Chain A
Amino acid sequence: MTENDGLILITLFCLPLLSAILLMLIPSKERSLIIGLTGIASSLMFIVSIYVFLSYDFNSTAQYQGIFSLSWVSDIGFIAKDGIQLKVGIDGIAASMILLTGIVILAGTIVSWKIQYKIKDFFILLYILVAGVFGTFAMLDLFFWFLLYETAVLPMYLLIGVWGSTRKQYGAMKLMMMLVAGSILIFAAIFMIFAESQLGTFDMQALSSVQFDRNFQILVFPLIAIGCGTLGAMFPFHAWSPDGHASAPTAVSMLHAGVLMKLGAFGIIRLGFQLLPEGGQYWGPGLMTLGIVAALYGAISALKQTDLKLMTGFSSISHMGYVFLGLGTYSLIGISGAVLQMFAHGVMTALFFLLIGAMYDQSHNREIPNFSGLAAKMPIWSIFFVIAGLASLGLPGLSGFVAELHIFIGTFQSYPIIGGLAVLTAAITATYLLRMFSTMFFGEFNEKWNQLNDMNYLEKAGALILAASILFLGLWPSPWMNRIADSIQLGIPGVLM
């Protein structure tokens, strides 16, 4: 990315904000206008995110590219000159995550057009959330990073509370309180880093060149890991996640499981590994332990679930466990795998939630045992579901395989026992998914569901975007791998090769 591309990054996070403001000005009755505007806005975000991903510059030796900064707060109190800046820039990890957000928001927008109740307000909140997500991935200033991180969480309460289903108020409140509680730790960590550096600046670039005291790093890293881990549904701070997912509306589940949880893992890389590398190295085994526990726990819990959405929710915890496992190895291959897994799981789980939403809107039932033989009635739906499921259990050729392979190799290199457990988890994942397939898709068709239709064209379009990404990453992962590996080598000091 060149210097001018910094403006593109600013555009990327202003675009959803502007769309939200524009939407506020449109009267709620103008339904077609709202749909048109959101269609244009989300497509633009999708295109810009692809541009950001493609324009990553391999020749650059800088840690971050496309830097653009605007002084925001300067020379006040303890804050030095240019202490708080609106500063954007990306590395390969952020570029992949921005692409993921672009894909999921486009698919999420398309399937949300069928919402009847207050569609305008829904999109306003959704776009505020998306602005927060894009901003967090692109920001290089701790103040704005935290501001946008919280902005991404804030609309979630109303999105789930108003448009959700089953126990929505409970789910919304639990999610909100747990995530905000988690961010207390991040807040404390940011202040500790700020005070310890004595630079009077929140600029991540300046802070990452500071060599913090080893003991300080060891003390502060867990705060970031737990704080961000709460959003990433890291065991044992995952309790909000199944309830939150089960009660959220389709597009919000997609964005939340697909993108927002990745924000947590991204925070551990950005704040934890890049600012406090020694702390990250020290706590690596701890992160791995929590990761493998989450992977096993999520998979075993998913075995028990009969609600399709709860099963997917627990499966998300399990897959995010792989991410923490990969991060904990603190090796090039492990962290690459973790970032790939973030992308792979993002598109896959978004597809899952899209499909579940497509069926639930018709049947108002998500209990797995209530269905059978759906493949005959809803063939396209079933095909997409099988693609997502196979990607989830790591079939070669689909996205999950590449990611999990990297993570497993990384884990075996450092702790073979944990690697063994990880493979066991993959086996359990295969069990619950294949069992669900056989129950729901095959066997005799249950006549009770005669009125069910296959997906409509909007849902097909959304699912197609996601399924294409799954296949793309599975068949040709090098665009991602090159960018991620390049950035890890440049950006995370002392990483094991």
Chain B
Amino acid sequence: MISKYLYLLPEIILLTTGLLVLFLDAFSKELDVGRRIFGPLTIFGALSAGLVSLLFLGEEKILFNIYSVDNLTSYFRILLCGILFLLVLGTQEYNEKRIQHVGEYYFLLLAATLGGIVMVAGVELLTIYVGLELLSFSLYVATSSLINDKKSGEASLKYVLIGGVGSAILLYGLSMIYGASQSTFYEVIQVNLANPEIINLELLILGLIFFFAGIGFKLSAVPFHMWAPDVYEGAPTPITAFLSTSSKAIVIGFLFRFLAGPLLPVMEYWQWLILTLSVLTMIAGNLIAIQQSNIKRMLAYSSVGQIGYILMAFPSLSSETLSAALFHLTGYLVTNLLIFIVVALFYTKHDETQMIDDFRALSDRQPFLALALSAGLFSLAGMPLFAGFFTKFILFQSVVQNGYLWLVVIAVTMSTVSLYYYLQVIKQMYLYDDDKEDSKWSPSLSGIFTTGILFFFMIFLGIYGTPFYAFAEKATMILF
């Protein structure tokens, strides 16, 4: 019996680390610990949780069948812990300089990751909702943690209000799906929905509409994306990075399990919903991004658009498309994390004015950061040699095979549009000469190291991504 709880070891490690950080923070005066200890603790916790996750590659349902530890869970555990590890490693200096209560802040990051893993691993509706709320609440608070920054507070308030509404709508949708299927367990829902005599179709369809609207809020998919730019702008840059990477990955991971399992029998009713979301998200996100002059807002809209590409995989749900989507998601996470870490490294040493032309002539001062940032942006636009090209190629070919050529044409067109606004940043870094009297600055060593790791992964995925695809395929195999 005890041994079954061992399957929760990564979560336990994250929780313990989080509580330890919180405890040390609360009694920091009595115990005489400085602010500097929290970062390394978090890094260590994330790293060990990620490594421990490698041990659980079987398939096991625990806690009265509400929690599934399988390859998909392990994949996301490693992914999320990896993101947390690299994010904190890369932005420690930023956090110590800009964040009001570092201890609490790291606790919130750990808690958000924990909630995310619960949401992906859960196979019961109430469990995943608890996970989602743990994730959301941690992020609401973390968004407001900048020192003396009104925008940060404003962003947090907006996020709470709109996120709360989103959660409510999602919960309402889930409750109607529960009403139609008479269970909260994925397995039972799947069986009941497959039986046309049991389900109440009107209720189910209404529930699905609410469900996808709620998911739209959480993913910031168009037309539920309005909060994203404001929150991305106001939040501390590492939290923005977390919002655009982990937070999205978690919801996508949940969708993998939920759409390919319980909702699979009623696919014909929700196919068009997610198709609409995907098309609107791709088009609107990329078009609005063109007009932005604030880099974080621009990246916010760009990640809105990027989510549209991943959603393309769901209308033609099959093991091939899902593996390709997971593979593309991995490439997207690596790339986006790289971009945000470079932005955070830059704003560690500069006032956070967030304008695209802040990056003017970066190539002269920090050639490596400029190179990494341009490579990341090119990768997001799907240019070759970088992750974005290869993972998109694999994703698109599987979508085409399922007969959605028109969807791919829209996606590729929008990638080209996105190239335009990414080039605006690259233009600033390379094409303009320096006009500012700016003293020499250099990013922290750990920041350079993190950027280097992500850069390597991005190139590796872009040129020879097959091993990662094989992992993704193993992870999604259990769904079918």
CA distance A162 to B363 in the complex (A): 12
A98 to B469, CA, bound (A): 34
Among the stretches A191-199, A299-307, A311-319, the one at the interface with B is A191-199
Q: Cβ of B324 < 8 Å from any Cβ of A?
A: yes
| Pairwise interchain contact A173-B423, C-beta atoms closer than 8 A | yes
* Known A76-B466, A195-B400; 16 more pairs at CB < 8 Å: A77-B469, A77-B473, A78-B398, A78-B401, A147-B384, A157-B426, A169-B431, A176-B419, A177-B420, A187-B396, A187-B412, A188-B409, A191-B397, A191-B405, A195-B397, A195-B405
Task: Answer whether A154 and B427 are a contact pair too, CB < 8 Å, given A76-B394, A195-B400.
Answer: no
A176 touches B393 (CB 8 A): no
Chain A neighbourhood of B389, CB < 8 A: 147, 150
Q: Is A180 an interface residue (CB 8 A)?
A: yes
Structural contact, B405 and A188, CB atoms closer than 8 A: yes
User: Are B383 and A154 touching (Cβ within 8 A)?
Assistant: yes
Contacts A77-B323, A78-B320, A180-B419 given; indicate if A161 touches B431 (C-beta within 8 A): yes
The residues in B between 436 and 480 inclusive whose CB is less than 8 angstroms from any CB of A are 464, 466, 469-470, 473
A168 to B383, CA, bound (A): 22
Question: For residues 160 through 190 of chain A, which have their beta carbon under 8 Å from a beta carbon of chain B?
Answer: 161-162, 168-169, 172-173, 176-177, 180-181, 184, 187-188
Q: What chain B residues lie within 8 Å of A147 (beta carbons)?
A: 384-385, 389
Q: Does B224 contact A (CB under 8 A)?
A: no
List the A side residues contacting B323 at CB < 8 Å: 76-77
Which residues between 386 and 431 of chain B lie within 8 Å of chain A, taking CB atoms? 389, 393-394, 396-398, 400-401, 405, 408-409, 412-413, 416, 419-420, 423, 426-427, 430-431
Kindly list chain B residues whose C-beta atoms are within 8 Å of the C-beta of A76.
323, 394, 466, 469-470, 473
Residues 177 to 205 of chain B near chain A (Cβ within 8 Å) = none
B interface bracket (residues with beta carbon within 8 Å of A): 20 to 34
The yes or no answer to A73 lying at the interface (CB within 8 A) is yes
Does residue A148 face the partner (Cβ distance < 8 Å to B)?
A: yes
Taking a contact as CB atoms closer than 8 A, the residue among A77, A150, A161, A187 that contacts B398 in the complex is A77
Tell whether A151 pairs with B320 under 8 Å between CB atoms, given A184-B412, A195-B401: no
Q: How far is the CB of B388 from chain A (nearest CB, A)?
A: 11
Which residues in B have some Cβ–Cβ distance to A below 8 Å? 320-321, 323-324, 378, 383-385, 389, 393-394, 396-398, 400-401, 405, 408-409, 412-413, 416, 419-420, 423, 426-427, 430-431, 464, 466, 469-470, 473
The answer to whether A148 touches B419 (Cβ under 8 A) is: no
A188 CA to B406 CA, complexed, in Å: 9
Contact B394 A191 (CB under 8 A): no
Interface assignment of A449: CB less than 8 Å from any CB of chain B: no
Contact between chains at A194 and B400 (CB < 8 Å): yes
Are the C-beta atoms of B383 and A150 separated by less than 8 Å? yes
B408–A191 contact, CB under 8 A?
yes
CA distance A147 to B431 in the complex (A): 25
Residues of A within 8 A of B400 (CB): 191-192, 194-195
Please classify the interface of chain B as helix (H, G, I), strand (E, B), loop, or mixed, using the class held by over half of its residues. Answer: helix
Query: When chains A and B are docked, how far (Å) is the Cα of A184 from the Cα of B400?
Result: 14
Report the bound CA distance from A180 to B383 in whole Å.
9
A147-B384, A187-B412, A194-B400 in contact; A73/B427 too (CB < 8 A)? no
A54 to B378 alpha-carbon distance, docked (Å) = 38
Closest B-chain residue to A194, C-beta based? Answer: B397
A176: which B residues are within 8 A, CB to CB?
Answer: 419, 423
Cα separation A168 to B432 with both chains bound (whole Å): 12
Provide the residues of chain A in CB contact with B321, threshold 8 Å: 77
Which residues on the A side are within 8 Å of B464 (C-beta)? 72
A243: shortest Cβ distance to chain B, in Å?
A: 16
**Interchain nearest-CB distance for A186 vs B (Å):** 10
Q: Do B405 and A192 touch (CB < 8 A)?
A: yes
Q: Closest Cβ of chain B: how far from A112's Cβ, in Å? A: 18
Residues of A with C-beta under 8 A to B397? 77-79, 191, 194-195
| Closest chain A CB from B425 CB (angstroms) | 12
A180 and B324 CA atoms in complex are apart in Å by 24
Contacts A147-B389, A161-B431, A184-B409 given; indicate if A77 touches B416 (C-beta within 8 A). Answer: no
Is B408 in contact with A177, judged by CB distance below 8 angstroms? no
Q: Which residues on the B side are within 8 Å of A172 (C-beta)? A: 431
Q: Are A158 and B409 also in contact (CB < 8 A) when A78-B320, A79-B397, A191-B396 are?
A: no
When distances are taken between beta carbons in the complex, the residues of chain B under 8 Å from A151 are: 384-385
Does A408 interact with chain B (Cβ within 8 Å)? no
Per the bound structure, the CA–CA distance linking A150 and B430 in Å amounts to 20
A192 vs B419: C-alpha distance in the bound complex, in angstroms? 24
CB of B416 within 8 A of CB of A184, answer yes
* B423-A162 in contact (CB<8A): no
Residue contacts A-B, CB under 8 angstroms, 13 given: A72-B464, A143-B393, A147-B384, A147-B385, A147-B389, A151-B385, A154-B385, A162-B430, A169-B431, A181-B416, A184-B413, A187-B412, A191-B405
- Which of B385, B412, B423, B426 sits near A188, CB closer than 8 Å? B412
Interfacial chain B residues near A181, Cβ < 8 Å: 413, 416
Check if A69 is an interface residue, CB within 8 A of chain B: no
Q: How far is the CA of A78 from the CA of B320 in the complex (A)?
A: 7
CB distance from A465 to the nearest CB of B (A): 30
Known contacts: A154-B383, A184-B413. The answer to whether A77 contacts B431 by CB under 8 A is: no
Interface residues in A140-156 by Cβ distance below 8 A to B read: 143, 146-148, 150-151, 154
User: Smallest Cβ distance from B455 to chain A, in angstroms?
Assistant: 13
A78 to B323, CA, bound (A): 11
B426 surroundings in chain A (CB, below 8 A): 157-158
B396, B397, B409: which has the most chain A beta carbons within 10 Å? B397
Check A150–B405 contact: CB distance below 8 A. no
State A225–B204 Cα separation when bound (angstroms).
48
Q: Tell me if A74 and B383 are in contact (CB < 8 A).
A: no
Interface string of A395-427 (1 = CB under 8 A from B): 000000000000000000000000000000000
A77 touches B320 (CB 8 A): yes
Q: Residues of A contacting B396 with CB < 8 Å?
A: 187, 191
Cβ contact within 8 Å between B466 and A154: no
Q: Considering the complex, give the chain B residue whose CB is closest to the CB of A223.
A: B409
A188 to B410, CA, bound (A): 10
Determine the residue in chain B with the shortest Cβ distance to A202.
B397
Across chains A and B, which 5 residue pairs bring their CB atoms closest together, nearest first?
A77-B320, A147-B384, A191-B400, A161-B431, A150-B384
Contacts of A184 in B (CB 8 A): 409, 412-413, 416
The complex places the Cα of A158 from the Cα of B155 at a distance, in Å, of: 37
Bound CA span A184–B378, Å: 16
Residues of B within 8 A of A148 (CB): 384
